[in-house]
Structure 1
């Protein structure tokens, strides 16, 4: 399949257009070359697992996962020991990597979430998830590296991107080897199955929340605003393009959502925005000018298409200033092996206030960057922000690793001893904010207290005046120019 994709890429990119005299590989109209669209080893196929075409690939995935486990652990006994916690083994009695029978955890439309303190046994075991995620990172990076090398060998001059529609930390990390990052996101996307030609209002996600600090208690991160979802794929050192986005609220946000998104892209210093889409048809003669037949279309929607000129002027000009400060969200390699259901807390508040980006540590657990504030991802209890200008700590697990082999008990308490101000569920000092027990504070998807404490810290540290950050029900940018009032 990869060899066939190389052949396809060669024929597509190197074919000379007889009208322009240029191949796509040389055409200056091409902005980027994208290897894949909305795909990843972390995507789930369980719902189509019996479909004839998918069966051999699921078998290959299981076979290769088992070989990976053997390469890592050598024997079933070693794997069993590694997957054992408090005398309980996550490996089923019928599972043996030498027989290729160890099952992999099933994915979802996005990287599936995993509670680092969840039940130890079963298909959702943190141990199984940790090793499959490590395996998945390897598979994604190997594949994209192979394709990037091939496309570069053809003479590609433009930036190459891996894929898009990224959300989970491991998925984002394993797509970061391209020249830039892309992400796709929607507000109120229709729920399939729906009439592809003409989705109705009844198909819409009318149960989404417009308040980013309050995620629905069923934990579906998709049911929130575009800015928090998009920002999960912003990586330090990589340009970022929001490569596909739209707002399908019908009312009351449709006429303002697009300018708002362009403004917040400026605040966060993003590099490109591509609205989906001008029109959905591939025919030239079925585009009525006076009727909106598809909510995905922009060309004949006056509430949207008439804003395009202003949106371009806003994004390309200096109408909206970039944020005055920068926050780094810091992931260790151990963080990447789990994904707490409420992992999106920082993304729900910070991109509205200032510039937020992800930092992935490839060597060790110590952050050495120069952001105004560093926030530990805190999926496990091991990030070291001691060299940061200001640090925010919390941990979804008391253990330093997803397999629960090394206990980090007492670490947050020692850090909190450097703080002097009591906040709800946290302690604040001149350079540090430590949350005592984040799961009880934000584990149900309500990030209001988390954001309020972070806001107090930013103001104490002199990064926000009193009239910015959380002001009543509004989120006000550190520039004072933007206010998002829920």
Structure 2
């Protein structure tokens, strides 16, 4: 509206996301997002077609799922050739694992087609397929995109109790506590090797006594991790705040009338663009191949959220840059984490030595 240009040509559109905070697998299985019967039938038809393409017939499917620990593999009425294999509703070993693969394949194909369509319309900016990964297979949905990323927050308004946790980012992020749910460890599943990383949303909600420092700490972690972009959310969210028919209510994340956050914007922007904090010297690449995903899928069952690091390694993002590597990477650029036992212990020991050398840990 300001330049008169088509949106595809307007520099106001810096980045584009095909699917916001979404992945097909949890949406189909989560009762809160129940599919309409007609759409669910379509998904089941696609699911059975995928099983036939993968296994050929009922006997081979039964054999494969039994090998994954499923017993019974199928009910008497189920046959992929007839389109009667049901969408999983429980942590059925073979069925749930293959359904995750199926959902990832469908979403990846959709994202590729949508990206091609957007490019045909003249869109020039980088395009991301989804900014949240919920399953191990989701890594490969993001692997074809122009950039990787995720949305993360400090404490903010809970959707059930409508309260805001009054704790500091520093306390929640104690690396020795091994908490994988808090920032920045929770963002590790969205950082892919060889791709720019965008933290598409970041904020600390009101009321929180530590929100000013917390917002700034988020940008500081981003500099340490050498992230490419952090997008602050948000300045205004509720239009009723400035409409004459009522005062409205500010949301937890709105910052326009909160000097503890909005007053820091110039300083935070300057800190980030000047690169006041040097990126961590050591890079950690955690390999993520098909075999690793299969092992993780069998171990986690449902839901199979991606937590690449164990609690014992949750300190890594406080000392080193971290990348998921769904494809082979140049290991000379950093330490590669793979395997178990002595091999993994050796790699972790190298990381600890590097962190001590840089004065990051004792």
Shared fold (TM-score, shorter chain, > 0.5):
yes
The one of 119, 122, 131 aligned to 1:152: 119
Where does 1:244-283 land on structure 2 (aligned, <5 Å)? 244-248=201-205, 250-283=207-240
Q: Greater helix percent: which structure?
A: 2
Change in Cα spacing, 1:292 to 1:49, as seen in structure 2 (3 Å) is: closer
Change in Cα spacing, 1:21 to 1:138, as seen in structure 2 (3 Å) is: same
Q: CA deviation at 1:142?
A: 0.6
Unaligned runs of 5+ residues in structure 1 are 1-16, 107-122, 377-392, 395-411, 420-425, 434-453, 472-486
Partner of 1:227: 184
- Partner Cα separation in structure 2 for residue 316 and residue 323 of structure 1: 17
**C-alpha contact 2:240 2:249 (8 A) present in aligned 1:** no
Change in Cα spacing, 1:188 to 1:284, as seen in structure 2 (3 Å) is: closer
Unaligned runs of 5+ residues in structure 2 are none
Change in Cα spacing, 1:188 to 1:319, as seen in structure 2 (3 Å) is: same
RMSD: 3.0
**C-alpha contact 2:18 2:128 (8 A) present in aligned 1:** yes
Q: TM-score scaled by structure 1?
A: 0.64
- Secondary structure of the 1:243 match is strand
Change in Cα spacing, 1:236 to 1:459, as seen in structure 2 (3 Å) is: closer
Q: Is 2:326 the counterpart of 1:360?
A: yes
Partner of 1:343: 307
- Partner Cα separation in structure 2 for residue 374 and residue 21 of structure 1: 49
- Partner Cα separation in structure 2 for residue 318 and residue 298 of structure 1: 24
Q: Is 2:134 the counterpart of 1:241?
A: no
The one of 359, 372, 390 aligned to 2:334: 372
Partner of 1:72: 54
- Partner Cα separation in structure 2 for residue 87 and residue 293 of structure 1: 50
Q: CA deviation at 1:213?
A: 5.1
- Secondary structure of the 1:42 match is helix
- Secondary structure of the 1:162 match is strand
Q: Is 2:92 the counterpart of 1:125?
A: yes
Q: Is 2:356 the counterpart of 1:464?
A: yes
- Secondary structure of the 1:34 match is strand
Q: TM-score scaled by structure 2?
A: 0.84
**C-alpha contact 2:286 2:323 (8 A) present in aligned 1:** yes
Change in Cα spacing, 1:291 to 1:35, as seen in structure 2 (3 Å) is: closer
Q: Is 2:18 the counterpart of 1:32?
A: no
- Partner Cα separation in structure 2 for residue 21 and residue 293 of structure 1: 32
Change in Cα spacing, 1:463 to 1:293, as seen in structure 2 (3 Å) is: closer
**C-alpha contact 1:236 1:358 (8 A) present in aligned 2:** yes
**C-alpha contact 1:242 1:274 (8 A) present in aligned 2:** yes
Q: CA deviation at 1:70?
A: 1.0
The one of 89, 96, 101 aligned to 2:79: 96
**C-alpha contact 1:268 1:356 (8 A) present in aligned 2:** yes
- Secondary structure of the 1:175 match is helix
Change in Cα spacing, 1:355 to 1:21, as seen in structure 2 (3 Å) is: same
